[in-house]
Amino acid sequence: MEAASSFFESRSRGWNVNSLMNFSHLNSRVQLHLRKVYTTLCLSLLVASLGVYAHMLVNLGGFLTSMAFIGCVMWLMSVPSYEEGKRWKILMGASFLEGLSIGPLIDLCNNLFPDSGLVLTAFLGTIAIFASFSGAALFAKRREYLFLGGILSSAVSAMLTLRFCSYFFGGASAMFNLELYGGLLVFVGYVLFDTQLIIERADKGDDDYIQHTLDLFMDFVSIFVRILVILTKNAGEKSRKEESRRKRSQ
């Protein structure tokens, strides 16, 4: 018993708030860069939420805003990194357009299940997943998750190939589920990979926090959309089962 108690005491001394917030393995330049990245990411998510709200008011989101978002991303990548102010505005514009683009999905979920809180649940779940895996990448050993880059790229290529094949050989439903759940795992993996890649690039002098913010923003939105679709799909299946039970009981 004494040995067990001493073990847990030593573990409790090792895990405290100070040790949790200890980023001594990252130099001051990288820490400053990460603060700028995550601050800009929070602003981007806020602007995206304004885009969702704008869609709710005037129904602007759709295919055109999705294409405009892709155009903004390409524009951002073409602007030199020293034009920071211009690139920051483009990033905020892209975030607003992405909010408009996912607005119809959120609107549909609210219309189908108005009192379920699916959107809030999906958002909080995304925050929890993103924070957990981003934190794991920050506290892990340097370059520990960079090997995921090749695996994740291969997984994306495989899913695209399977989607193309499903157009000719059928299996659209199975392909949808594979893309939904497999895509969620892939983008969770990208949170690990992108976070460590940002650290490595910042350590080597790459201080393009706007591009790095865009990478994490797209990871966050991709996870959120998939969680929301999964929750909506499950809620729909539950609703159909309850409806069939009521019909059988009548």
- Per-residue model confidence as pLDDT tens digits over 186-242: 999 999 999 999 999 998 989 999 999 999 999 999 999 999 999 999 888 887 877
Convert the pLDDT of each residue in 88-147 to its tens digit. Answer: 999 999 999 999 999 999 999 988 888 778 999 999 999 999 999 999 888 887 677 788
pLDDT of 242:
76
- Work out the mean pLDDT of the chain and round it to a whole number: 85
- What is the arithmetic mean of pLDDT over 45-69? 94
DSSP single-letter state for residue 112: H
| Cα end-to-end distance, the chain, whole Å | 61
Contact assessment for residue 34 and residue 21, using Cβ atoms and an 8 Å cutoff? no
Buried (b) or exposed (e) across 6-36, using 16+ Cβ within 10 A?
A: eeeeeeeeeeeeeeeeeeeebeeebeebbeb
Which of residues 177 and 168 earns the better pLDDT score? 177
| Lowest-confidence pick of 25-29, 94-98, 100-104, 162-166 | 162-166
Provide the pLDDT for residue 53: 95
Least confident of 73-77, 87-91, 163-167, 219-223: 163-167
- The predicted model gives 143-162 an average pLDDT of 82
Distances (CA, A) of 89 to 45, 48, 50, 93, 234: 14, 13, 15, 6, 38
Range 4-29 average pLDDT = 53
Give pLDDT, residue 166.
Answer: 66
Is the pLDDT at 169 greater than 70? The verdict is no
pLDDT at 35: 95
Question: How far apart (Å, rounded) are the C-alpha atoms in residues 173 and 49?
Answer: 30
pLDDT at 14: 46
**Is the pLDDT reported for residue 55 higher than 80?**
yes
pTM: 0.86
The first and second tokens of residue 78, run together, are: 């073409």
What pLDDT is attached to residue 24?
60
Average pLDDT of 50-77?
94
Structure-token pair, residue 157 = 């290529």
pLDDT of residue 12: 44
